[in-house]
Amino acid sequence: MATPVIADVKIHFPNAKLTLMCKEGMEALFLGNPAVYEIFTFATPSTFIHRLEHHDVIEKLREGHWDLGILLPNSFTSAWWFFRGRVKKRLGFRANGRSLLLTYGVPFPKERGREHLVLTYKRVLAPLDIPLSATFPTLFVMDKEKEAIEQLLTQYQIPKGARIIGVNPTAAYGPAKCWPKERYHELARRLIQEDPHCYILVFGDQGSADLCNYVTSGLGTRGVNLAGRTSLRELIAFIQKLDLFITNDSGPMHMAAALKTPLIAIFGSTSDVATGPYQHGTVIHKHVTCSPCFNRVCPIDFRCMTRISVEEVYHESQKILRNKF
């Protein structure tokens, strides 16, 4: 969701060389982005003091002689790094006691929490006279990655011309964000039962392998469990290839929106207004009285998710596929 800010800064300063600073592993999200000149990654130490005095980060910043640093994280640590790293001008939201470390401290907008986070991020650029734009989140897939995915699909016995539907039954924040696994399994079973050309790819990390295996159980060769079997770049390339992606509120959901992959996003405990797929896809959210609660685990009867039926998600999937084909 930060990529529109990158695009807006490059449009406003077309001759600038933009360096992106992010945690190790996250750089995969920005590879191939034509607005990014270079990427500077860092590991996060486990303790606050070590994190605050991250000498590698501070020295790297001092070597760069940066004219401007734009902070999207609201942490004190990130502002401290820019201050200690002698970044000439430092721009970010005023939060967590870091105002004195910023050259331009932007107050949180009154719309925060009632608008999409993409728009909130863009508002940090106001001191640069960069107006709110219509730019979208974007990801880029290279030709060699597309070719590699075609080879993997052949390896998984998925024929050319098959209808490929991706399913993501996981979410990093906790089970309150997850539609029940039994319903994902029933949905996958029905999709392949009623369409002989349909194949299901189920995505997740290594820790969710059993969950994903449950979803694909009984589907034979037409259901492939990819949990823990893809790199982040491979996941992005797989999602771009899909005819439809069905997912909880999650990182892969935002990837699908950025790639403009046909999408169904299932919401329960979180806010689709603030963190839904940005201006793309179909959101299913029952908006029960206790939602959004932002709990990791539902303390009551999980009504926000149990009220979303397999039939409803199946019906929405058929509408999307009919429009595509």
The dihedral formed by the CA atoms of 149, 152, 153 and 157, expressed in degrees to the nearest 10: 170
Average pLDDT over residues 289-297: 96
Per-residue confidence (pLDDT) for residue 48, from 0 to 100: 78
Q: State yes or no: pLDDT of 45 exceeds 80.
A: no
Domains and CATH numbers, the chain: 3-128 (3.40.50.2000), 145-324 (3.40.50.2000)
Name the pLDDT band for 148 (thresholds 50, 70, 90). very high
Per-residue confidence (pLDDT) for residue 130, from 0 to 100: 97
- The answer to whether the CB of 281 falls within 8 A of the CB of 299 is no
d(CA 278, CA 1): 8
Per-residue confidence (pLDDT) for residue 47, from 0 to 100: 79
Residue 302: phi and psi, rounded to 5, are: 60, 35
Of 6-10, 17-21, 61-65, which gets the smallest average pLDDT?
61-65
Helix, strand, coil percentages in the chain from 3-state DSSP, rounded to 5: 40, 15, 45
Per-residue confidence (pLDDT) for residue 17, from 0 to 100: 96
Per-residue confidence (pLDDT) for residue 93, from 0 to 100: 97
The better pLDDT of the pair 69, 52 is held by 69
Average pLDDT over residues 213-217: 97
Per-residue confidence (pLDDT) for residue 65, from 0 to 100: 87
The number of angstroms, rounded, from the C-alpha of 98 to the middle of its chain's C-alpha atoms is: 27
Q: State yes or no: pLDDT of 325 exceeds 90.
A: no
Q: State yes or no: pLDDT of 53 exceeds 90.
A: no
Looking at this protein, which amino acid is placed at residue 241?
Answer: K
Per-residue confidence (pLDDT) for residue 190, from 0 to 100: 98
Name the pLDDT band for 293 (thresholds 50, 70, 90). very high
Paired tokens of 322:
């009919």
d(CA 293, CA 287): 11
Per-residue confidence (pLDDT) for residue 46, from 0 to 100: 73
Q: State yes or no: pLDDT of 50 exceeds 90.
A: no
Average pLDDT over residues 284-299: 96
- Provide the b/e sequence for 212-222 (b: ≥16 CB within 10 Å): bebbbeebeeb
Per-residue confidence (pLDDT) for residue 323, from 0 to 100: 86
Per-residue confidence (pLDDT) for residue 306, from 0 to 100: 97
Per-residue confidence (pLDDT) for residue 44, from 0 to 100: 83
Task: Round the average pLDDT of the chain to a whole number and report it.
Answer: 95
Looking at this protein, which amino acid is placed at residue 301?
Answer: D
Average pLDDT over residues 31-58: 89
Average pLDDT over residues 96-125: 96
